[in-house]
Amino acid sequence: MTVTTEVNKVLDERADSGAVPAKVETPFRRFVSDFADSKIAIVGFLTFLIILMIAILAPWISPTNPYDLATVDILDSRLPPGAEMMNGTTAWLGTDGLGRDMLSAMFYGLRISLGVGVTSGVFALCIGVCIGLASAYFGGRVDTVIMRIVDLQLSFPAILIALVLLATLGKGVDKIIIALIVVQWAYYARTVRGSALVERSKEYVEAAACLGLSHNRIVFRHMLPNVMPPLIVVATVQVAHAIALEATLSFLGIGLPVTEPSLGLLISNGFEYMMSGKYWISIYPGIALLITIVSINLVGDRLRDVLNPRLSR
């Protein structure tokens, strides 16, 4: 019986392939349906979307504006969660040492953390991809020089490089983005170079060269789409890393100015009150940071499973 069903299935498939398919199954569509097979990945993805929406809409959904120093009242400082502030709004997650509403500060902090993480990630990706592709495509001496520089940089801890850079550049959102780009490009370059080397040896690249296409076209139009899968995985993981690294730097007090707190800076602000029972100033931003990073990593893990054919599914 199973044999007949098998045969029928094969026959059905033949009938299907014979006719011109009404809707072409693009690689992208297949990828989306594969991704959606995992419930936990969907949860992670939705969580990330919510966090993203909060970050984008922060100025409109926050109860107060933590950046507006005129509205911040020092008498509100260190109120416990649920207490009412001087201006009548309820501080659901308490207030920090300066009297800022924690919930609002976290919304804005998330905005800065994600903004810094994604911006630096995108720039580092572009730089890393160009360098990695050039390295793999031209090979030889170009490749050796570039990869030794990458090795050199990766042999230092990321936090050390960022610390040295920020100590030289000073404080500010733009400075920390620059520092994170410098730290991250090497990861992208190495990943892209690795998979581009594999693609380089495939016949379609040779065939493209035989068609007389230019280097630019072969590299960006033919090789780049084929190295995207590992790149997407590394990009998600790196964005999470960047957010964590920014939080670390802010916690150490060398990242962002105190007036524009990111999640890391909020944690750092509450750190001194931890032992006196005022847990909320550090714990809530910490939880927000944790959820953000975990949700991005969940998505990244699933992407890796879907995009890596060697892992059995």
Partner 1 sequence: MTTNVPTLQVEELQTYFYTKAGVAKAVDGVNFTVDKGQIMGLVGESGSGKSVTGFSIIGLVDPPGKVAGGRILFKGEDITNAEEERMRSLRGSRIAMIFQDPMMTLNPVLRIDTQMIEAVQAHEKVDRQTAFERSRDALGQVGIPSPEERLKAYPHQFSGGMRQRVAIAISLLHKPDLIIADEPTTALDVTIQGQILYEVQKLCRERGMSLIWITHDLAVVAGLADKICVMYAGKVVEAGTIGQVIDLPLHPYTHGLIGSVPSHNKRGQPLEQIPGMAPSLLSMPEGCAFHPRCPRADTQCLVEPGPTVPADPDHRVRCCHPHLEGAA
Q: How far is the CB of 201 from partner 1 (least distance, A)?
A: 10
Tokens of 89: 């709004």
Q: How far is the CB of 20 from partner 1 (least distance, A)?
A: 5
Name the DSSP class of 20. P
Q: Is 101 helix (H, G, I), strand (E, B) or coil?
A: strand
Is the Cβ of residue 159 or residue 207 nearer to partner 1 in the bound state?
207
Q: What is the largest CA-CA distance in the chain?
A: 80
Q: Length of the chain, please?
A: 313
Tokens of 113: 């953390």
Q: Where are the alpha helices (H) located in the chain, listed in sequence order?
A: 2-18, 27-35, 39-61, 102-138, 140-154, 158-169, 173-200, 203-210, 215-217, 224-251, 263-271, 280-307
Is the Cβ of residue 147 or residue 205 nearer to partner 1 in the bound state?
205
Is the Cβ of residue 88 or residue 140 nearer to partner 1 in the bound state?
140
Name the DSSP class of 309. T
| DSSP run (H or E) holding 91 | strand 90-91
- The rounded radius of gyration (Å) of the Cα atoms in the chain is 25
Is the Cβ of residue 116 or residue 223 nearer to partner 1 in the bound state?
223
Q: How far is the CB of 142 from partner 1 (least distance, A)?
A: 12
Q: Which residues contact partner 1 by CB under 8 A?
A: 17, 20-21, 24-27, 139-140, 202-204, 206-214, 217, 221-222, 225-226
Tokens of 130: 């160009």
Is the Cβ of residue 199 or residue 246 nearer to partner 1 in the bound state?
199
Q: How far is the CB of 17 from partner 1 (least distance, A)?
A: 8
Is the Cβ of residue 222 or residue 304 nearer to partner 1 in the bound state?
222
Q: Is 312 helix (H, G, I), strand (E, B) or coil?
A: coil
Tokens of 144: 């050796």
Q: How far is the CB of 33 from partner 1 (least distance, A)?
A: 16
Tokens of 115: 């903004």
Distance CA 217, CA 202 (A): 16
Torsion of CA 229, 145, 177, 155, to 10 degrees: 90
C-beta neighbour count of 85 within 10 angstroms: 20
Q: Is 95 helix (H, G, I), strand (E, B) or coil?
A: strand
Is the Cβ of residue 15 or residue 20 nearer to partner 1 in the bound state?
20
Q: How far is the CB of 221 from partner 1 (least distance, A)?
A: 7
Is the Cβ of residue 145 or residue 290 nearer to partner 1 in the bound state?
145
Tokens of 206: 């040779």
Q: How far is the CB of 307 from partner 1 (least distance, A)?
A: 12
Q: How far is the CB of 204 from partner 1 (least distance, A)?
A: 5
